[in-house]
C-alpha cells in the first residue's frame, strides 16, 4: 500500500526527542479542533504559538500537530502547583527532561514522536495526563471517483464505507460515531481526523465484546484489504476500541487510540476475533484493559458461548509504537475454556509506557496467555523484540494444559527504572520459551531465579540465550556525585565490533563515546521532584549499536544520585541485628496516626517482613531501627507493597506507595504498588522507619536499595539494626 513506502529500517539511534540546543526551529501545522472538544486543563504553545488542547476521555487530554523540524513545546497547567510533584515525559528512552518555570514546563522535540506527559507514578485510571502527537505533515486528500472528503467540524453519525471507497478526514474533522467495516474490501480511511465514540454500553457491565455496527470506534466483520492512516480514536464508553472479526489484510499507520471510562475496564485497544494478517505501525494506544488481545471468537459469557470453538488468528505485526494501559495486560491471548489456534504474532521496536497493575486469574504482564479450565489450542511463533519497559508490572504469565504453547521469544527487552513487581509464571504444556538479553537496568536475566519465573506443571525450562552483538554496560567512577562535579562514565567494550556509544544523562543532555564526562547542574533528578531531601535521581541510559548493522543494539540503565545536601550519620553504636517492630491491629484504607493507636505486639524482625502477628489478620506494622550506609554517597530506596508502605530515613520521607489499587475478577488482594526516592547519606548508621499495612492482601512488603558500588537489590540483613537496650543498660 502506497502510504507505507519510504519508512525503511527503523533505528533507535535516531533518538527522536533528544534536545539539541541551537538548532533552528521547524514549521508546525497544528490540527484545529471544534470548540466542543477543547479543554483548558493545559495551555500549550508550539514555537510560541498557542494550539488547541482536546479532551480525549477520562482525565486525558491531547494535542496533535505536523512538524518539519525542531519544535519548542511549552505546557502550562491550569491547576496551581500541578508540577510540584514532578514531571514524567515518556518514552523514557528519548531522554526528555523539561525545564520547569512555575506552572509551565518547556522542552524541545527534534523529530516526530508520540509522548505521554504526567506526574511520576501517576498513570492509573484517575491520572491527569497529556498526550503529545507530533507527526510528519499530513498528506493532501487523494482524488478519484470513490474518494469522500469530510470537512472540519462535528459530524454526527457513523462512517459506513463501501468496497473500494477512500474516505479522507481533513484535520479538524470529528466523526461522532463509528467506522463500520462490515463485509467490505479495499477500503482506505486517511487524513488526520477524529472518531469520537461514546456509545450506549452499560457502564457497570461488559457489553463491549459484542459484534455489531456502531459498537466500537472501528468495527470490522469479514472485512479485507483495509488501510487506516492518521485516524485518532477517542473512546469514552465501556467498549472494545477496535474490534476485527474474521477480517484480514489490515494496515494501520499513525493510529492514535485514547480510551478511558469510569469503570476502568473492558476497553481493549485492539482485538482480533479470528483473522489477522495485520500490520500496526507508528501508533499509540492508551487503553482501560488489554492493549492488544487475540481470541478465536467471543459471543458472550454463557457456558455455550465460552466453549464454542473459535477461528484461527495469525500473522500480526505491531511495531514502532507506544503502548499504555491503566489496567490489565499489554498483550493477551487465550481465556479459560476457549478453543482456537494462534500463530505468528510479533511486537517489536516499541515502548511500553504503562503496563497495567493487578491480576485477573493471572497477574497482568507484558504478555499473558491464560489457558485454564479446559482451554484448548495450539499457539506458537510469538516474538517480543526490542522493547523498552517504563512503568511495568510483570514480564510474562503463561498457563496452558492442552495441547501446547511453543516457540515464544523475548529478545532485547530493556526494563528501565525498577525490578519486576510480580514474578513470572510458566505452567503446563509449554516449551520453546526463549529469553535472550532480557535486562532490568544493567542486570541481564540469565536464570529462572534472576527473572524470576516459576516453572511448574511440566513446562520445559526456558532457555537463556548467550550474549551476542553489542553489549551495553557501564560504571560511574565517582562514588559521590554532587552538583557541578565532573563525573566520568565508562562503557564496557563490545569486543570485535565497531560500536557507537550514545549516552543520555537524564537531564536532557547527551554525549557519544566509550568514555565521557558530565556535570549535573542541579539535584532535582530526571523527574524534577524538587529538593525534599537534597538529592535527585537521574536516569542514565547507554545505547550501544553496531555501526555496520544498526539493527544490532543493546541498552543499559542505571540511576545516578546527585547530592546537594547530606544526612549525617547517627552516633549510635549500641545496636543489635534486625529491626524493632510494633503491630497495630485494625483495618484502614490508609495509614492511621500511630501516635493515637496502641500497639498490641512487638518484637525484632531479623529480616523483612519477619514479624509474628500473633493471630491478627488485619493490622499495620511499624518497623524501626537503623540502616548502615557503607560509604558516603547518594542512595536510592525502593518499596513495594500491596496495601501500602511508607519509608522514612533520618526522619525524612523518602518513598510512599500511594493509595491501594484493588485487583479485579473477584480477587481479594490489592495490586503491588511501587515507589522510590533518593537521599544523600554519610557513611554510618541512619534511622529508618518503615510503615506497612496488611489489611486486605496476602503478600509481604519489600525494601530495596542501590548506591555507590551497590546494584539494585534487597537491603541485606547485615545493614539493618536496632537499638540494643540491654547493652545500653549495662546488662
Q: What is the pLDDT of residues 393-452, one digit of tens each?
A: 999 999 998 889 999 999 999 999 899 999 999 999 999 999 999 999 999 999 999 999
Q: Which of 294, 300, 336, 334 is nearest to 316 (CA)?
A: 294
State the burial class of residue 149 (Cβ atoms within 10 Å of its Cβ: 0-12, 13-18, 19+): middle
Summarize pLDDT for 375-403 with one digit per residue, the tens.
999 999 999 999 999 999 999 999 998 88
Residue identified by cell 526522619 is 651
pLDDT at position 111, please?
Answer: 95
Do 550 and 577 lie in one domain? The reply is no
Do 437 and 316 lie in one domain? The reply is yes
Mean pLDDT score, 580-595: 93
Summarize pLDDT for 236-251 with one digit per residue, the tens.
999 999 999 999 999 9
CA atoms in the 13 A half-sphere facing the CB of 656? 11
Do 529 and 579 lie in one domain? The reply is no
- What is the rounded CA–CA span in Å between residue 128 and residue 121? 11
Do 438 and 338 lie in one domain? The reply is yes
**Domain count of the chain?**
4
This prediction has a pTM of 0.94
Q: Report yes or no on 192 lying in a domain.
A: no
Characterize the bridge pairing of strands 633-641 and 702-707: antiparallel
State the burial class of residue 617 (Cβ atoms within 10 Å of its Cβ: 0-12, 13-18, 19+): exposed
Residue identified by cell 469522500 is 148
pLDDT at position 13, please?
Answer: 36
Mean pLDDT score, 17-43: 80
- What is the rounded CA–CA span in Å between residue 102 and residue 122? 20
- pLDDT classification of 588: cutoffs 50, 70, 90: confident
- What is the rounded CA–CA span in Å between residue 27 and residue 181? 36
Lay out the sheet containing 633-641: strands in order across: 566-567, 673-681, 633-641, 702-707, 710-714
Q: Report yes or no on 700 lying in a domain.
A: yes
Q: Which three cell numbers stand for residue 493?
A: 567494550
Characterize the bridge pairing of strands 673-681 and 710-714: unpaired
Choice among 42-56, 148-162, 620-634, 699-713 with the minimum mean pLDDT:
699-713
Q: Which domain holds residue 518?
A: 474-564
Q: What DSSP letter does each residue of 36-86 carry, written as one string? A: GGB--SEEEEETTEEE--EEEETTEEEEEEEESS-EEEEEEESSTTGGGG-
Q: Report yes or no on 408 lying in a domain.
A: yes
- What is the rounded CA–CA span in Å between residue 155 and residue 173? 8
- pLDDT classification of 183: cutoffs 50, 70, 90: very high
pLDDT at position 497, please?
Answer: 86
Characterize the bridge pairing of strands 367-391 and 331-333: parallel
Do 407 and 529 lie in one domain? The reply is no
Characterize the bridge pairing of strands 331-333 and 292-295: parallel
pLDDT at position 539, please?
Answer: 97
Residue that terminates a domain, selected from 512, 542, 564: 564
pLDDT at position 573, please?
Answer: 74
- What is the rounded CA–CA span in Å between residue 672 and residue 663? 9
Do 529 and 652 lie in one domain? The reply is no
Contact 354, 325 (CB under 8 A): yes
Residue that terminates a domain, selected from 399, 431, 463: 463
Q: Report yes or no on 264 lying in a domain.
A: no
pLDDT at position 729, please?
Answer: 46
Summarize pLDDT for 659-688 with one digit per residue, the tens.
899 999 989 899 999 999 999 999 999 999
Average pLDDT of the chain to the nearest whole number: 93
Do 439 and 398 lie in one domain? The reply is yes
State the burial class of residue 62 (Cβ atoms within 10 Å of its Cβ: 0-12, 13-18, 19+): buried
pLDDT at 261 over 70: yes
Q: Report yes or no on 468 lying in a domain.
A: no
Helix (H) or strand (E) holding 646: strand 645-649
CA atoms in the 13 A half-sphere facing the CB of 507? 17
pLDDT at 15 over 50: no
Do 36 and 24 lie in one domain? The reply is yes
Mean pLDDT score, 6-13: 31
Q: Report yes or no on 185 lying in a domain.
A: no
In total, the chain counts a number of residues equal to 731
Q: What DSSP letter does each residue of 427-491 carry, written as one string? A: EEEEEEEEEEEEEETTEEP-STTTTTEEEETTPPPPEEPPP-S----EEES-S--BTT-EEEEEE
Summarize pLDDT for 36-84 with one digit per residue, the tens.
999 999 999 999 999 999 999 999 999 999 999 999 999 999 999 999 9
The DSSP letter of residue 106 is E
Do 549 and 589 lie in one domain? The reply is no
Q: Report yes or no on 374 lying in a domain.
A: yes
Do 355 and 434 lie in one domain? The reply is yes
CATH classification at residue 101: 2.60.350.10
pLDDT at position 23, please?
Answer: 59
Helix (H) or strand (E) holding 165: none
Q: Report yes or no on 183 lying in a domain.
A: no
- What is the rounded CA–CA span in Å between residue 18 and residue 91? 11
pLDDT at 357 over 70: yes
pLDDT at 555 over 70: yes
Strands, E assignment, 510-632:
510-512, 515-519, 535-546, 549-563, 566-567, 575-577, 579-585, 601-605, 619-629
Contact 254, 216 (CB under 8 A): no
Mean pLDDT score, 481-492: 97
Do 619 and 714 lie in one domain? The reply is yes
CATH classification at residue 530: 2.60.40.10
Do 518 and 411 lie in one domain? The reply is no
- pLDDT classification of 26: cutoffs 50, 70, 90: confident
Cα-based distances in Å from 729 to 438, 580, 605, 723, 726 = 53, 17, 22, 11, 5
Q: Which of 261, 391, 389 is nearest to 673 (CA)?
A: 391
Summarize pLDDT for 99-127 with one digit per residue, the tens.
999 999 999 999 999 999 999 999 999 99
pLDDT at position 731, please?
Answer: 41
Q: Which of 338, 395, 334, 408 is nearest to 370 (CA)?
A: 334
- What is the rounded CA–CA span in Å between residue 526 and residue 285? 25
Residue that terminates a domain, selected from 463, 496, 520: 463
> Which residues, in sequence order, are CB contacts of 410 under 8 Å at separation 6+?
367, 384, 385, 395, 396, 433, 434, 435, 436, 438
Q: Which residue has the higher pLDDT, 604 or 529?
A: 604
Q: Which three cell numbers stand for residue 615?
A: 493471630
pLDDT at position 725, please?
Answer: 67
pLDDT at 9 over 70: no
CATH classification at residue 591: 2.60.120.1560
Amino acid at each position: 500500500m502506497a502510504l507505507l513506502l519510504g519508512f525503511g529500517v527503523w533505528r533507535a539511534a535516531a533518538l527522536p526527542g533528544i534536545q539539541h540546543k541551537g538548532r533552528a526551529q521547524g514549521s508546525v501545522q497544528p490540527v484545529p479542533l471544534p470548540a466542543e472538544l477543547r479543554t483548558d486543563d493545559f495551555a500549550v504553545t508550539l514555537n510560541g504559538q498557542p494550539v488547541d488542547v482536546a479532551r480525549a476521555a477520562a482525565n486525558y487530554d491531547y494535542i496533535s500537530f505536523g512538524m518539519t523540524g525542531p519544535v519548542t513545546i511549552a505546557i502550562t497547567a491550569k491547576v496551581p502547583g500541578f508540577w510540584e510533584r514532578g514531571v514524567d515525559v515518556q518514552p523514557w528512552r528519548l531522554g526528555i527532561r523539561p525545564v520547569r518555570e512555575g506552572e509551565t514546563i518547556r522542552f524541545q522535540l527534534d523529530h516526530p514522536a508520540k509522548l505521554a506527559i504526567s506526574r511520576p507514578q501517576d498513570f492509573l485510571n484517575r491520572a491527569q495526563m497529556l498526550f503529545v502527537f507530533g507527526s510528519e505533515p499530513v498528506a493532501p486528500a487523494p482524488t478519484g471517483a470513490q474518494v469522500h472528503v469530510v470537512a472540519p467540524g462535528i459530524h454526527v453519525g457513523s462512517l459506513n464505507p463501501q468496497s473500494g471507497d477512500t474516505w479522507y478526514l481533513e484535520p479538524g474533522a470529528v466523526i461522532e460515531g463509528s467506522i463500520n467495516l462490515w463485509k467490505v474490501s479495499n477500503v482506505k480511511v486517511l487524513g488526520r481526523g477524529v472518531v469520537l465514540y461514546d456509545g450506549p454500553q452499560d457502564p457497570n457491565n461488559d457489553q463491549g465484546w459484542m459484534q455489531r455496527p456502531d459498537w466500537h470506534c472501528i468495527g470490522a466483520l469479514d472485512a479485507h484489504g483495509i488501510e487506516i492512516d492518521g485516524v485518532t480514536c477517542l473512546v469514552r464508553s465501556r467498549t472494545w476500541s477496535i474490534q476485527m472479526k474474521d477480517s484480514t489484510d489490515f494496515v494501520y499507520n499513525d493510529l492514535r487510540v485514547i480510551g478511558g471510562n469510569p469503570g476502568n475496564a473492558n476497553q481493549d485497544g485492539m482485538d482480533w476475533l479470528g483473522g489477522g494478517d495485520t500490520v500496526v505501525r507508528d501508533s499509540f494506544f492508551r487503553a482501560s484493559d488489554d492493549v492488544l488481545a487475540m481470541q478465536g471468537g467471543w459471543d458472550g459469557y454463557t457456558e455455550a458461548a465460552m466453549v464454542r470453538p473459535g477461528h484461527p488468528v495469525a500473522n500480526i505485526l505491531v511495531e514502532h509504537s507506544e503502548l499504555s494501559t491503566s489496567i490489565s495486560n499489554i498483550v493477551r491471548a487465550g481465556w479459560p475454556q476457549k478453543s482456537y489456534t494462534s500463530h505468528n504474532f510479533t511486537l517489536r521496536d516499541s515502548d511500553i509506557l504503562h503496563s497495567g497493575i493487578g491480576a485477573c486469574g493471572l497477574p497482568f504482564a507484558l504478555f499473558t496467555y491464560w489457558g485454564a479450565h479446559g482451554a484448548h489450542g495450539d499457539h506458537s511463533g510469538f516474538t517480543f523484540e526490542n522493547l523498552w519497559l517504563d512503568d511495568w508490572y510483570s514480564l510474562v504469565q503463561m498457563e496452558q494444559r492442552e495441547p501446547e504453547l511453543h516457540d515464544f521469544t523475548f529478545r532485547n527487552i530493556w526494563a528501565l527504572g525498577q525490578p519486576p513487581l510480580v514474578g513470572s509464571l510458566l505452567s503446563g504444556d509449554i516449551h520453546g520459551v526463549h529469553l535472550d538479553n532480557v535486562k532490568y537496568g544493567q542486570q541481564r536475566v540469565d536464570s529462572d531465579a534472576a527473572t524470576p519465573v516459576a516453572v511448574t506443571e511440566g513446562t520445559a525450562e526456558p532457555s537463556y540465550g548467550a550474549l551476542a552483538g553489542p553489549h551495553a554496560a557501564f560504571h560511574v567512577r565517582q562514588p559521590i556525585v554532587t552538583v557541578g562535579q565532573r563525573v566520568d562514565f565508562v562503557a564496557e567494550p563490545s569486543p570485535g565490533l565497531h560500536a557507537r556509544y550514545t549516552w543520555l544523562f537524564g537531564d536532557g543532555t547527551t554525549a557519544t563515546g566509550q568514555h565521557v564526562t558530565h556535570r549535573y547542574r542541579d539535584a532535582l533528578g530526571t523527574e524534577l521532584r524538587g529538593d525534599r531531601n537534597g538529592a535527585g535521581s537521574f536516569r542514565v541510559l547507554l545505547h550501544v549499536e553496531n555501526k555496520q548493522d544498526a539493527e544490532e543494539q543493546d541498552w543499559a540503565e542505571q540511576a545516578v544520585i546527585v547530592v546537594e545536601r547530606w544526612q549525617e550519620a547517627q552516633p549510635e553504636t549500641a545496636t543489635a541485628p534486625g529491626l524493632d517492630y510494633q503491630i497495630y491491629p485494625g483495618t484502614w484504607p490508609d495509614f492511621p496516626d500511630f501516635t493515637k493507636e496502641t500497639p498490641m505486639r512487638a518484637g525484632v524482625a531479623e529480616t523483612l517482613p519477619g514479624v509474628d502477628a500473633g493471630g491478627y489478620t488485619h493490622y499495620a506494622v511499624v518497623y524501626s531501627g537503623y540502616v548502615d550506609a557503607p560509604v558516603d554517597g547518594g542512595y536510592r530506596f525502593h518499596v513495594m507493597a500491596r496495601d501500602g508502605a511508607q519509608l522514612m530515613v533520618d526522619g525524612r520521607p523518602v518513598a510512599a506507595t500511594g493509595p491501594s489499587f484493588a485487583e479485579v475478577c473477584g480477587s481479594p488482594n490489592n495490586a503491588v504498588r511501587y515507589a522510590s526516592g533518593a537521599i544523600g547519606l554519610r557513611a554510618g548508621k541512619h534511622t529508618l522507619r518503615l510503615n506497612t499495612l496488611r489489611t486486605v492482601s496476602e503478600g509481604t512488603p519489600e525494601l530495596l536499595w542501590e548506591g555507590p558500588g551497590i546494584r539494585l537489590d534487597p537491603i541485606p540483613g547485615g545493614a539493618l539494626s536496632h537499638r540494643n537496650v540491654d547493652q545500653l543498660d549495662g546488662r
